[in-house]
Structure 1
Amino acid sequence: MSEQSLPTLPMWRINHIVPSPEMLALRANGPIHRVRFPSGHEGWWVTGYDEAKAVLSDAAFRPSGMPPAAFTPATVILGSPGWLGSHEGSEHARLRTVVAPAFSNRRVKLLAQQVETIAAQLFDTLAAQTQPADLRRHLSFPLPAIVISALMGVPYDDHAFFAGLSDEVMTHQHESGLRSAARLAWEKLRAYIRGKMQDKRQAPGDNLLTDLLAAVDQGKATEEEAIGLAAGMLVAGHESTVAQIEFGLLAMFRHPQQRERLVGDPSLVDKAVEEILRLYPPGAGWDGIMRYPRTDVTIAGVHIPAESKVLVGLPATSFDPRHFEHPEVFDIERDENPHLAFSYGPHYCIGMAVARLELKVVFGSVFQRFPALRLAVTPEELKLRREIITGGFDEFPVLW
């Protein structure tokens, strides 16, 4: 394929829960495609399910936070000490072990009743608003923010501060000015975490910051790594779930029969959440996870040179007909749903149990509390936060 004819990476038509026509046309040519990225670099886009798993589990590929010198990570958080995507091998495994207790089955079970209480309080707050109201402001944003605050051991009253910094950190940073602002925001967030960790020395608790202090004292992590881990969890722990709540609601609004099934049979909530995750994996407002091969590799018969840019299109894998029957259909009773929403291989999402819990609580009760809940605008009028890696909408106005 000549340089002139090299296609630009197509965008998802996310409001409609289907790939764009351009994406479908490109995918028809196979599971791996040579494309031009918005940054101007050439590289490969992996849309096949099996091929994505192969890349994500292959140690020949560097993770997103360890790019070759020719490429600059999309955000300053990638490459920062303690951000799990900036480590690999034994170092990565060591750091995952440090944060794993915060996401253990015991902690998640203890969190479950608290999440239900938080959701019920937020439903009451939303119900007290003048209609139409912004569901993002009153539910989809505060719920994950409160939960991650409790899990980490930081005051929820600080959520507006750390959320603002989080947005700056997670903005696509192709321009030097944006990158400088993001770097400053990241350092402010790290300074905030450093202060809160110092507080835990005087008042330890059953939370992530206390766990991290213990790991530092035991020589399992450096202080800078611990701060990076905590700051990364604070960013990743609320941003992506906000978007999934909104995308999931949008899917239900656009498919009223599926919504009626869920209302009539609440036991379907687990499957409904998995279907939302399939169609809207974390970061669905963008296009996937970057990987960089150290050596020449061949995947599905496609030769990829060393030091290339390879985007694993997690949203695209959910439309692979080899693994999903009628993948374009939103079906909350789908039995086989082996999606890659939380990635695959050593870098799979460590907080997936908490994300699932939050989604199950919301979709298991929101339509009971608001039977007539609906968008106050057309889906096409919703404005995607495309500049933010984790996606979502600027506002999500609803009526009930």
Structure 2
Amino acid sequence: MPVHHATTYAGDPAWRVTGYRTVRRLLADPRLGRTHTDPDHASRYSESMVFGRALPASPTEHDDHVQLRRLLTPAFSARRMARLRPRVQDLVDGLLDQLTAQDQPADFHQAVSFPLPVLVICELLGVPYHDRDDFRRWSDAAADMTDRQRSLDGLAALWAYMRDIVARKRREPGPDVLSELGAASDDGTGRFAPDRAAMIAAGLLFAGHETTVAAIDKGVVLLDRHPELAADPERIAGAVEEILRLPLPVPVADGPAPGLPRWANADIDVDGTTIPAGDLVVLDLQDANLDPDTFDRPAACDPGRTDGTHLTFGHGPHYCIGAPVARLELQTLFATLPRRLPGLRLAVPVDELPARTTHLTGGLAALPVRW
């Protein structure tokens, strides 16, 4: 059965959906969304203010989403990524220079995994890199799935910061995404009013670095366990897709299954089980990415895999708009590591790596390595 009763991180009831085909279908189902007609009484996924609870329903939700995608898509186009690629390579080389200047073992998470996505998203959005310690702290707090007040304070601080940045971009625009958001806030429709533009910007800043940090950490761990990931430079794109598909191979305590929370806005029949309108649905992307009916030897790490497309970035109208920049960063880094650091390896056993189990994006708190 692909539908199961579950309990969320917040202790509320939900439906957990598994299996590649079912999860993929529901990712594109318009009857599932992030809003609810009574969000204060809806099941919560977690205590985090980011994806942790339902948003108020809006009659313009669909149109607003279409307008937002239309506005942001050019920022992540193939042409823009091609222009950005040399700069990402320079950033990777510079960070690896700094890493190798340190004593061994060194923390790869602190030296490379965190600063690379931050540097890139700062350039794309037009956010000052020197503010990184502040928005890193706020993002970390906002993603806390156990402390509602900490998460609320972090999101409020991030939003206030971005509100100031968007206001500045409206006065002094530049060749960046926040300047485009600032211009859209003056279009007279009210859809991108300054406060909403700031919230969108905060979401871009959060998603643009937090998720990729975790993916880089995971990639280094997988590279340590599966050297074949870096064996063929011609298959680096496939290696990155396996890094994105496979779970972080770090033992964690049993608990609620992670997934993508969505709320049903109508009754939905899923293979004979009716999910009532208003219920919380957790789409288990990890289970889908390991479905043996879709992936041959799903736990194997195969850069030449051609039997399926992972769902890490979602599917359908809400497919992650930042996927191209995440792929660019990962491909550049993991193509460079075998050349620059052929002896890169973990400095501690995998089961001693500190997993961030209460953080929305997961990942590691530290990644000690030698080279």
Give TM-score, length-normalised by structure 1.
0.84
SS at match of 1:35: strand
- Aligned position for 1:196: 165
- Aligned position for 1:41: 12
Per-residue CA deviation, residues 336-371 of structure 1 (Å, 9 max, x unaligned), is: 231111011221101000000000001111121001
The 2-side partners of 1:104 and 1:280 are apart by 28
- Work out whether 1:187 is the aligned partner of 2:160: no
- Aligned position for 1:371: 342
- Work out whether 1:270 is the aligned partner of 2:237: yes
Match of 1:131 among 104, 107, 127: 104
Written as runs of structure 1 = structure 2, the 5 A alignment for 1:205-220 is 205-219=174-188
- Aligned position for 2:43: 71
Count of matched residue pairs: 359
CA contact (8 A) 1:82 1:224 kept: no
- Work out whether 1:106 is the aligned partner of 2:85: no
Judging changes above 3 Å, is the alpha-carbon distance between structure 1 residues 137 and 79 closer, same or farther for their aligned structure 2 residues? closer
CA shift, 1:131, in A, is 0.3
CA shift, 1:77, in A, is 3.4
Q: Give the unaligned 5+ runs of structure 1.
A: 1-29
SS at match of 1:389: coil
The one-letter code sitting in structure 1 at the alignment partner of 2:113 is: S
Judging changes above 3 Å, is the alpha-carbon distance between structure 1 residues 42 and 72 closer, same or farther for their aligned structure 2 residues? closer
CA shift, 1:64, in A, is 6.7
The 1-side partners of 2:3 and 2:196 are apart by 35
SS at match of 1:324: coil
The 1-side partners of 2:61 and 2:348 are apart by 44
Question: More displaced, 71-80 or 364-373?
Answer: 71-80
Judging changes above 3 Å, is the alpha-carbon distance between structure 1 residues 355 and 65 closer, same or farther for their aligned structure 2 residues? farther
The 2-side partners of 1:384 and 1:225 are apart by 33
The 1-side partners of 2:99 and 2:115 are apart by 11
The one-letter code sitting in structure 2 at the alignment partner of 1:299 is: V
Q: Alignment RMSD, CA only?
A: 2.5
Give TM-score, length-normalised by structure 2.
0.90
SS at match of 1:232: helix
CA shift, 1:217, in A, is 1.5
CA contact (8 A) 2:145 2:359 kept: yes
Written as runs of structure 1 = structure 2, the 5 A alignment for 1:274-353 is 274-280=241-247, 287-353=258-324
Question: More displaced, 119-128 or 295-304?
Answer: 295-304
CA contact (8 A) 2:45 2:261 kept: no
The one-letter code sitting in structure 2 at the alignment partner of 1:162 is: F
CA shift, 1:106, in A, is 2.5
- Aligned position for 2:198: 227
CA contact (8 A) 2:36 2:54 kept: no
CA contact (8 A) 1:63 1:88 kept: no
Q: Give the unaligned 5+ runs of structure 2.
A: none
- Work out whether 1:56 is the aligned partner of 2:27: yes
CA contact (8 A) 1:65 1:78 kept: no
The 2-side partners of 1:73 and 1:300 are apart by 23
SS at match of 2:302: coil
The one-letter code sitting in structure 1 at the alignment partner of 2:126 is: G
CA contact (8 A) 1:60 1:295 kept: yes
The 2-side partners of 1:123 and 1:138 are apart by 8
